[in-house]
A and B are shown apart, each in its own frame.
Chain A
Amino acid sequence: MTDTAAVDAAGLVKTFGRLRAVDGVDLHVRQGEIFGVLGPNGAGKTTALRMLATLLPIDAGQARVFGVDVNREPHRVRQLIGITGQYASVDEDLTATENLWMFGRLQGLRSADARAAAKRLLAQFDLEEAADKPIAQFSGGMRRRLDLAASLITRPPLIFLDEPTTGLDPRTRGQMWDTIRSPVTESCTVLLTTQYLDEADQLAGRIAVIDRGRKVAEGTPDELKASVGNSTLQVQLAEGADQELARQIVRRIAGAEPVLTPGSGRMNVPLDTADRAADVLIGFRQSGVAITSVSVAKPTLDDVFFAITGHGADTEDDPNPAGTGASEAGAGHETVLEVQ
């Protein structure tokens, strides 16, 4: 039984009207790992996660959680999972202690045990001072931590984290990462969704990249980043500059294929190390290629998307006719779909 996958999903499909929000996704999450599902807004990652967590019916394909069929035995699956949502799934009108006590009781803990579990979790999550405050007075970071604590009351073997740090400021984000990596979740398998490559990089052992309802890549963070280099040089070529010459220089010096946005003269160059940026720029000056601006950045999700799909993470034009304008909705369209 120890080799049963924590999550084994094949050909998952979810359709909303004419839109295939999840279009045949396979996921295989091994026991004990932190697995990241990475993709832009509206890619279908939250929808996929909600199907696995029994919150949405699966239209086609099948999914098993520790060997238990999600569609056929959702009640059993619910006893094996904890879910922490994109929006705080704790009760605003109750205090932190009351929330944890209630969720413990609802899962069959006796009153005293639920109280003890609440106390233990509040200590582990550094929320003791706020134990008796209503959640309405909590900061965003505290809310997410409480939310995660609520998922861990009965120590389920599988935890779903849906965009655990979206909307948090950078410092609070770091704290949330520490919490997710800390011993409190160590014995659980974690499946998390995120829009941030650095978050997936920080937390996940393996990553699946989702785009327009399909899985477009899967691998370790290092493998994914290797496909785009360790940093990206962004150059704005001056008007009239020889774009073909610039491309050749990049190929020769950086040994990589640049991504050129033809109309605007913007060029993205994947680099093994940031040091190579200087070599490329010197090459440009020696050959008389004029530039107007330059920056060196860590690869973003956008770069990974360019590399894997050939289009950006939030591209406007939609080459896929099945999308029927869905990508135009851009940010938040996934959320809109779920209220319907």
Chain B
Amino acid sequence: MSTMTADPASVGSAPLRTVDPAAAVAGTRPRTTTTETVSQTLIMAWRALKKMRRNPEQFFDVTLQPLLFTAMFAYIFGGAISGNVHSYLPLLIPGIVAQTVLTTCMSTGVQLREDMEKGVFDRFKALPMARIAPLAGPMVADLVRYLIAAGLTFVMGVIIGYRPAGGVLGVLGAIVLAMFTGWALAWIFTFIGSIAKSARAVQGMSFLFLFPLTFLSNAFVRVTTLPGWLQAFVKVNPVSHLVSATRALANQGVVTSEAGWTLLAGLVVIAIFAPLSVRSYRRHM
């Protein structure tokens, strides 16, 4: 082991414990390994979960919205769309699941933007860590939020009379599919979060995506009741596929090709927006 000779210009007495720069340089690695990336992402997820637990008001949207919207939509539109509330529920509940999960995605982007403005992000950027970890970590933690949002919607549905014919497995399948789709679509909002100038701007830009995606879908109405040109968009909207797949799972307990399309759409979104987000985060240095 080589020793560091005391520099004549150095201030103070002999070091207590020498940091040998030559050894330190020799020990550096050129890039992060996959194992490191995964472990760093999980640590960032741990951080996000700690923050969630200490700021429970973050859970307002994922708890109140499913409870409120489920009851509101059921009682207001039930009679008009399906003749009565009870027969509207199998149509409505999967729609609300998709809607709440999407709204939750939006706050992923907003919170990332707020987080990135804090001093601690300087330290993250200066650490030898994978650039994707600070983005993916909070998103992993957000799976908890999607779980709460989707789960509570079903619970609220059951309370007001929904009896999913797909059984427990069907409902669980629907929830898992919704969580995956939420996680995939969240990359869009993470990207917005990494390019926007402020958290408020993220919110504004996100609504531009959010409203067409949720309302121009089959989430709340039967597609056959829509004008032809609108049907064309509704049919390619990934949210429609999610809603159809969720309905089949929860109401019939079957996995349809719609589930496959949903997964594919999710993977396409990740493949496009994850690299874009990382690139934009890098550039923000």
- When each residue 115-144 of chain B gets 1 if its CB lies under 8 Å from chain A and 0 otherwise, what string results? 000111111111111000100000000000
Question: How far does the alpha carbon of A68 sit from the alpha carbon of B16 in the complex, in Å?
Answer: 26
Question: Which bucket holds chain B's interface residue count?
Answer: 35 or more
B15-74, CB < 8 A from A: 15-22, 24-25, 27-32, 36, 39-40, 43, 46-47, 50-51, 54-55
Partner of A6, one of B12, B13, B21, B55: B21
A93 touches B55 (CB 8 A): yes
Given contact pairs A55-B122, A105-B43, A186 touches B285 in the complex (Cβ within 8 A): no
The distance in angstroms between the C-alpha atoms of A253 and B46, with both chains bound, is 69
Residue B224, interface by CB 8 Å: no
B6 in the interface (beta carbon within 8 A): yes
Q: Is the CB of A85 within 8 A of B24?
A: no
Which residues of chain A have C-beta atoms less than 8 A from B125's C-beta? 54-55
Which positions 98-114 of chain A face chain B at CB distance < 8 Å?
A: 98, 102-103, 105-108
Of residues B13, B30, B285, which shows the largest number of chain A Cβ atoms within 10 Å of its Cβ? Answer: B285
Dominant SS at the A interface? loop
Beta-carbon contact of A73 and B15 below 8 Å: no
Q: Is A228 an interface residue (CB 8 A)?
A: no
Chain B residues with CB below 8 A from A213, complex form = none
Contact with B along A1-41 (1 / 0, CB 8 A): 11010100000000000000000000000111110000000
Q: How far is the CB of B201 from chain A (nearest CB, A)?
A: 14
Q: How far is the CA of A149 from the CA of B124 in the complex (A)?
A: 15
Which of these, B12, B43, B46, contacts A181 with CB under 8 Å?
B12
CB distance from A184 to the nearest CB of B (A): 9
Is residue A156 within 8 Å, beta carbon to beta carbon, of the partner chain?
yes
Pick the interface stretch among A76-84, A164-172, A299-307.
A76-84
Q: Are B123 and A150 in contact (CB under 8 A)?
A: yes
Determine whether the beta carbon of A66 is less than 8 Å from that of B120. no
A89, CB-defined interface residue at 8 Å: yes
The answer to the question of B5 belonging to the interface, with a C-beta cut-off of 8 Å to chain A, is yes
Q: Report Cα–Cα, A150/B119, bound state, in Å.
A: 13
Question: CB of A53 within 8 A of chain B?
Answer: yes
Interchain CB contact (< 8 A) of A80 among B16, B28, B54: B28
CA distance A66 to B21 in the complex (A): 7
Choose from B5, B40, B123 the contact partner of A90 (Cβ within 8 Å).
B123
Contact between A33 and B10, CB atoms less than 8 A apart? yes
State the CA gap A30–B11 with chains docked (Å): 11
CB distance from A205 to the nearest CB of B (A): 5
CA distance A254 to B4 in the complex (A): 46
Contact indicator B32/A75 (Cβ below 8 Å)? yes
Across the interface, do B28 and A68 meet the contact criterion of CB distance under 8 Å? yes
B118's closest neighbor in chain A, by CB? A92
A188-B31 contact, Cβ under 8 Å, with A53-B126, A83-B126, A205-B9: no
Nearest-neighbour CB distance to chain A for B8, whole angstroms, equals: 9
Contact residues in B for A90 (Cβ distance below 8 Å): 119-120, 123
C-alpha spacing A55/B11, complex, angstroms: 28
- Given the complex of chains A and B, what is the CA–CA distance between A83 and B133 in angstroms? 19
Tell me which of A54, A89, A183 contacts B119 (CB under 8 A): A89
Instruction: Knowing A56-B285, A94-B47, say if A89 contacts B123 (CB, 8 Å).
Output: yes
Taking CB as reference atom, which chain A residue is nearest B127?
A106
B225 contacts chain A at the CB level, 8 A cutoff: no
The answer to whether B2 touches A157, judged by C-beta atoms less than 8 angstroms apart, is no
Contacting A107 at CB < 8 Å: which of B9, B27, B127? B127
A323 within 8 A of B: no
| A residues less than 8 Å from B18 (CB atoms) | 187
Most chain A beta carbons < 10 A, residue from B10, B121, B123, B133? B123
C-alpha gap A94/B29 in the complex (Å): 29
Q: Within 8 Å CB of B55, what residues of A?
A: 93
Q: Does A91 contact B (CB under 8 A)?
A: yes
Q: List 23 A-B contacts (CB under 8 A).
A: A2-B4, A4-B22, A6-B21, A31-B10, A54-B285, A55-B285, A68-B25, A75-B28, A75-B31, A79-B28, A83-B122, A83-B126, A85-B119, A87-B119, A91-B118, A92-B120, A103-B123, A106-B124, A106-B127, A155-B19, A158-B21, A189-B21, A206-B9
Q: Top 10 A-B pairs ranked by shortest CB distance?
A: A32-B10, A1-B22, A187-B15, A78-B128, A89-B123, A157-B21, A87-B119, A76-B28, A89-B119, A32-B7
On B, residues with C-beta under 8 Å from A are 2, 4-7, 9-13, 15-22, 24-25, 27-32, 36, 39-40, 43, 46-47, 50-51, 54-55, 118-129, 133, 285
Interface on A for B, CB 8 Å cutoff? 1-2, 4, 6, 30-34, 53-57, 66-68, 73, 75-76, 78-81, 83, 85, 87-94, 98, 102-103, 105-108, 134, 150, 155-158, 181, 183, 186-189, 205-206
